[in-house]
Amino acid sequence: MERIELKTRESTELVDITEKVKELVKYTGVESGICVIFTRHTTSGIIINENEAGMKQDIVTLLNELVPKGKGYLHDRIDNNAHSHLRAVLLGTSVSIPVDRGELVLGTWQSIFFVECDGPRRREVCVNVV
């Protein structure tokens, strides 16, 4: 298993990790299989979408609208970041991408994002190619 270390800068932020994942897939030498990208944190997610500035902002706006901060969540009584956990629930913790001929089978407009929901923080993403 390989790891990607990240340092996020915003409270909610999309970080494109596509190139790093591609490098790791090449490094493993796997020709045909599945690449699993997994975040080990309860207040972040992994998604695939288009890396376009407006789209990235739209996703942040959507998360802010769907799960507003400080809405009387029970977890806020001990940690004050319930909204971060709840946003992560909507996003999911991993994505699986087919690998063929040694490369990720991503569509033209598909990029892999680590989504920070409780930044800024140091984060770690696991990448496993099997």
The residues of the shown chain that bind Zn ion, judged by CB under 5 A, are 79, 81
**CB of 8 or CB of 81, closer to Zn ion:** 81
Q: Classify burial at 93, counting beta carbons within 10 Å of its beta carbon; exposed 0-12, middle 13-18, buried 19 or more.
A: middle
**CB of 19 or CB of 79, closer to Zn ion:** 79
Residue nearest to Zn ion (CB): 79
List of residues 6+ apart from 110 with CB closer than 8 A: 48, 49, 50
Q: How far is the CB of 77 from Zn ion (least distance, A)?
A: 11
Q: Locate 92 and state its tokens.
A: 């999911």
From 57, 58, 45, 56, select the one nearest 90 (Cα to Cα). 45
Q: How far is the CB of 78 from Zn ion (least distance, A)?
A: 7
**CB of 56 or CB of 87, closer to Zn ion:** 87
Q: How far is the CB of 46 from Zn ion (least distance, A)?
A: 19
